[in-house]
Chains A and B, each alone.
Chain A
Amino acid sequence: MIRRSMVLWVILASLFGAAMFLIKHEVQVREAWLDTLHREILASQEAIQVLRAEWSYLNQPVRIEALIRRHMDLRPTNTAQIGGIDALPVRLRNADARAEVAQ
């Protein structure tokens, strides 16, 4: 009786021991992986920070204005160029009327 229960307990203990070892090992592996990920995240965040600074630097209005002057035909908007829909004349429904106006 004692011997049988002893055997049972020994088997259980070694099973739990083995399970514990495996789980602990797995946790260690995952923790190492997590550390790597953290380091990578920090490195990426640092890189992003540098890029954000560079983005702001490249967005200096002085620089953009100079670039536009050099490469494009854009000019500051004239007040007369801005208008609303309600400022437009009424659209003529009739095709004949449109043709008449066109003439």
Chain B
Amino acid sequence: MSPRVPPQGDSIDAIPTVRIEGNAKQAIEVGRNRLLVAGMFFAVAFTLVAVRLVDIAAFRGGGEPSVVRESSATVLKTGRADIVDRNGLLLATSLSVPSLYADPKEVIDVEAAAQRLITVLDHLSAAKVAAKLKATKRFVWIQRGLTPRQQYRINALGIPGLHFQREERRVYPQGSLTSHIVGYAGTDSVGLGGLEKQFDGMLRDGAQPLKLSLDVRIQHILREEIGRQMVKFDGIGGAGVVLDANTGEVIAMVSLPDFDPNLTGAAAEDARFNRATLGVYEMGSTFKIFNTALALDSGSATMNSGYDATNPIRIARFTINDYHAKRRWLSVPEIFMYSSNIGSVKMALDFGLAAQRGFMGKLGFLAPLSVELPERGTPITPSPWRRINTMTIAFGHGIAVSPLHLASGVASMVNGGIRWPVTVLKRDSSARTVGKQVISKRTSKQMRQLLRLVVENGTGRKAAAEGYLVGGKTGTAEKPGESGAYARKALLSSFVAAFPMHDPRYVVLVMIDEPKGNKESHGYATGGWVAAPAVRRIVSRSAPLLGLLPMDEQSPEIRQVLEIELLAEKGRKRLASF
């Protein structure tokens, strides 16, 4: 229709008008339409881009944070995470320390340099340093791990050819105090023992410190008191545990002799051995706690029943006799109080082999502990479990467990009968762990009374820390000698206690390996003489730190909870079942 191409803006005016008809006109129409479509498409696209641009620029779309966060880390990255005690005191940390190396090519006067260098590093010899500086290599270590002061002084010497390199070094500020639990790491920060080994991977990438259940103050008290008894009775070793009876947390754990983790190279094999968790021992009479608990819990005996302990028991080539022999009928509390082997064996025969083995399994005495340490001892248990084993296990021979096993078992006997998994890490109070009921509440109460009785009137009188209601049990085991026969002279004396006995909060175990009697103990090296006094001092020193108030031991409320009647042997003898 229209013969003219419509004007396309100002510039078109200058071009002469052209008439196009027919096919050519149609082609141009098609071209125009296509151009229009393309143009609209681009217009829409650009509008979208523009809108988006405004949106991002003006209305901060696209999830831009309003406050800029820096991406570079300002948190100090050390090679390994720290380990701290329950109060946050540092037990292990990584420091970056300067190490001194030399490039022998750059050293001008070797002899003079060596002479001046040993004025700072006085433990090195000039000849050795000179030999290093004469090496043909381009890199030779002189001393790794300098103190800041040493670095400053070496720098001040101004010897050419000496250089420093920063290196990671694991430092244990508390030294040997927590050596067996914290463990140690090697030169290249690889965990080689204790928690350092157990949590090696976690410590490597973690920035959060590992918080232990240990309390350094209690740890010190435990270590000092056990060390004192070891020296006094000339023992070859010792172990001790303070355990929270209601959570299973290890508050302190000691194995003596110990070592300084900062100088692991110098530590003897014996010192690295963790007697508290890796060592397994026949614990002796402390096992009567479990024997009596099982008898009371299974109903095979009551607090009023008793057994005839007049004559020693002969079985095979053994004779089972009493250490504090009374040679008469004894009630169950008396058997416990006087630690009668004969009575305990008879008690065990009443509930029998299967019940005993099942109970030991329930207490966890047949498997390694679940504690977070790589050094966990596997108990030595009889196989096959015969009648004679049942008889010896009644008084703690024929089964060997670690001291921590024992402490954990005693905790579940006194805390209402619940077995908590033992841990060396601080328990989160919000995360409830599940404990297993192993004995009834009623039996647990009776055990508390019996344990208190031992300290009040029995073999454990030396453990009585006034005001803290200590209850406990002595144990004196003869160690099997080289040939397997029991050696009379090599003893393992222990005392396991809980306090305060009306509502036990903590379990304390002290064990001295091969103590020898002295004049002061009238030649005795038994648990009552060797370990019980240490327990008394540990309790009275640590109870105030643990937030326990001393109480009147004679107050009626406490007497009512803890007192039991000791049966007059004559009158009741007939009623007792034999």
User: Hey, which bits of chain A sit against chain B, CB under 8 A?
Assistant: 34-35, 38, 41-42, 45-46, 49-50, 52-57, 59-62, 65, 76-77, 79, 82, 84
Contact = CB atoms under 8 A, between A and B. Distances in A.
Contact of A38 (B72, B89, B465, B550): B72
The 6 closest A-B pairs by CB, nearest first: A61-B220, A56-B173, A56-B90, A45-B76, A57-B173, A79-B467
Contact of B217 (A41, A45, A55, A61): A61
B90 A79 contact: no
B544 A55 contact: no
A82 B544 contact: yes
B564 interface: no
A79 B173 contact: no
Nearest to B76: A45
B93 A52 contact: yes
A55 B78 CA distance: 19
Given A42-B74, A76-B541, A55 B90 contact: yes
Given A34-B70, A79-B540, A53 B173 contact: yes
B89 A62 contact: no
B218 to A, nearest CB: 10
Given A45-B76, A76-B540, A76-B541, 12 more contacts: A38-B74, A42-B74, A49-B78, A52-B90, A53-B171, A57-B174, A59-B216, A60-B173, A61-B177, A62-B177, A77-B544, A82-B550
B173 A49 contact: no
Contact of B549 (A35, A62, A84): A84
Contacts of B224: 62
Contacts, number: 68
Contact of A49 (B76, B89, B540, B550): B76
A60 to B, nearest CB: 6
Contacts of A62: 177, 220, 224
A93 B170 CA distance: 64
A36 to B, nearest CB: 12
A79 B431 CA distance: 35
A49 B177 CA distance: 20
A69 B313 CA distance: 54
A84 B93 CA distance: 41
B549 A56 contact: no
B95 interface: yes
Nearest to A43: B76
Interface in B385-413: none
B175 interface: yes
Given A60-B177, A61-B217, A79-B466, A53 B93 contact: yes
B91 interface: yes
Contacts of B174: 56-57, 60
A82 B549 CA distance: 7
Contacts of A45: 75-76
A26 to B, nearest CB: 14
Contacts of B468: 79
Interface string B155-197: 0000000000000000101110100000000000000000000
A62 B175 CA distance: 11
B74 A61 contact: no
Contacts of B75: 45
B304 interface: no
A61 B549 CA distance: 22
Nearest to A87: B552
Contacts of A49: 76, 78, 93-95
B47 interface: no
A82 to B, nearest CB: 5
A42 B216 CA distance: 29
B96 interface: yes
Contacts of A46: 76, 95-96
Nearest to B175: A60
Nearest to B548: A82
B189 to A, nearest CB: 15
A65 B227 CA distance: 16
